[in-house]
Amino acid sequence: MKKNSAVLYAVLLAGLAGAFLFSLGIGEMKFSLAGALADWLSGRMSEAAVVFSEIRLPRAILAVLVGASLGLSGAAMQGLLRNPLAEPGVLGVTGGAALGAVLVFYAGGASVFGMALPLGGMAGAFVSVWALYFFAGLTAGVQTLILAGIALNTLAFAGTSLALNLSSNPYAALEIVFWQMGSLSDRSFEHVWLALPFVLAGWGLLLWNGRALDALTLGEETAASLGISLKALRRRLVWGTALAVGASVSVCGSIGFVGLVVPHLLRPWVGQEPGKLLKASALGGAILLLVADSAVRLIPSLNELKLGVVTSLVGAPFFIYLIMKMRRSLL
């Protein structure tokens, strides 16, 4: 078993490195990565070095941060709710972050300074966690949390629609719609630095829970009798997801299905263990998003395809396939 998981991590890490390099190599301009890297490191700002360091590198790094956040928090939510259909947005954090960003758009804040948008998203994510606790109470059980999450998502969706509805400027409305589709294009290191501390803090909170999630396999009563504090577990997972996913949505919009599909795909490879699934899903999510973001740039189209559109287009049929497979195993 130990050998198996070592092989799995080796494969995932190699995949991550490969997908990262591949992503760096894609773009309109062709240049040697090694040359650009050497130029950049020696401070010689050749054209290749500028494209590499200001466009490609932040884009690839963001793909890793966002993809890993989605995969990790998806695995964490599925473990917490003991439901393979849970995803990072189930508690309303994604909806809240999207609404926060949209409100900044609506108020015209995005044109005042570039970082207003992600900051608005982050504020939205935090407000949604407070609202979650306000609705569900500090000691809420899983069912209450899910219901409160549904309510919050509905509310956030209504708010977003209202902003679109009332928007006097059709271009602004279009921009909101496009932003919501999720994308990693035209992001800079500023975005990376903004998201990084929140994402890392979120990862820290989420990765801590492997053993507690393992214990939850036997239900809440057994987990509690094994010395696991369920209240602390829920608190860490809710805040961890809010930090990691909130920051992700804030810098690149909503990207669907990664957090749902990645844990699903990897679960059989970690012996179904929810604890081991956390790290594996983080790696898997990063790989998937790097690949999807590379595909977006490689598929020829009139407008650049939005990343969230592609992940949903690929993810939804895959999800349907999973459901059909599950249905067959139930029969």
Q: Decide whether 28 or 221 has the Cβ nearer to another protein.
A: 221
**Residue 29 phi/psi, 5° resolution?**
-85, 135
Q: Please state the closest distance from residue 285 (CB atom) to another protein, in A.
A: 19
Binders of another protein: how many residues, by CB under 8 A? 22
Task: Point out which span in 92-100, 122-130, 171-179, 269-277 binds another protein (CB under 8 A).
Answer: 269-277
Distances (CA, A) of 216 to 81, 129, 140, 222, 236: 9, 23, 16, 7, 15
Q: Please state the closest distance from residue 130 (CB atom) to another protein, in A.
A: 27
Q: Please state the closest distance from residue 140 (CB atom) to another protein, in A.
A: 17
Torsional sign, CA 127, 131, 134, 139: negative
7 binds another protein (CB under 8 A): no
Q: Looking up tokens 């979120």, which residue turns up?
A: 202
DSSP secondary structure letter of residue 53: I
Q: Where are the alpha helices (DSSP H) in the chain?
A: 2-24, 33-41, 47-51, 57-81, 93-106, 109-112, 116-136, 142-166, 170-181, 189-207, 210-216, 219-225, 230-252, 258-266, 274-298, 307-330
Q: Could you report how far apart the first and last alpha carbons of the chain are, in Å?
A: 30
Q: Please state the closest distance from residue 328 (CB atom) to another protein, in A.
A: 15
Residue from 158, 187, 324 nearest 253 by CA: 187
What DSSP line would sit under 111-150, residue for residue?
A: HH-TTHHHHHHHHHHHHHHHHHHHHH-TT--HHHHHHHHH
Question: 184 burial class (0-12, 13-18, 19+ CB within 10 angstroms)?
Answer: buried
272 binds another protein (CB under 8 A): yes
Task: Point out which span in 131-139, 183-191, 198-206, 265-273 binds another protein (CB under 8 A).
Answer: 265-273
Q: Decide whether 218 or 324 has the Cβ nearer to another protein.
A: 218
274 binds another protein (CB under 8 A): yes
Cα–Cα distance for residue pair 91/239, rounded to 1 Å:
11
Select from 42, 112, 229, 298 the one that contacts another protein (CB under 8 A): 229
Q: Please state the closest distance from residue 315 (CB atom) to another protein, in A.
A: 22
Residue from 104, 92, 116, 114 nearest 176 by CA: 104
Q: Please state the closest distance from residue 263 (CB atom) to another protein, in A.
A: 11
222 binds another protein (CB under 8 A): yes
Q: Decide whether 154 or 272 has the Cβ nearer to another protein.
A: 272
299 binds another protein (CB under 8 A): no
| Contact set for another protein, span 199-218 (CB under 8 A) | 208, 211, 214-218
46 binds another protein (CB under 8 A): no
Q: Decide whether 274 or 285 has the Cβ nearer to another protein.
A: 274
6 binds another protein (CB under 8 A): no
Q: Please state the closest distance from residue 64 (CB atom) to another protein, in A.
A: 23
170 binds another protein (CB under 8 A): no
226 binds another protein (CB under 8 A): yes
87 binds another protein (CB under 8 A): no
Cα–Cα distance for residue pair 158/320, rounded to 1 Å:
27
271 binds another protein (CB under 8 A): yes
Q: Decide whether 1 or 166 has the Cβ nearer to another protein.
A: 1
Residue from 315, 309, 204 nearest 264 by CA: 315
123 binds another protein (CB under 8 A): no
- Binding residues for another protein, per CB under 8 A? 82, 208, 211, 214-219, 221-222, 224-229, 267, 271-274
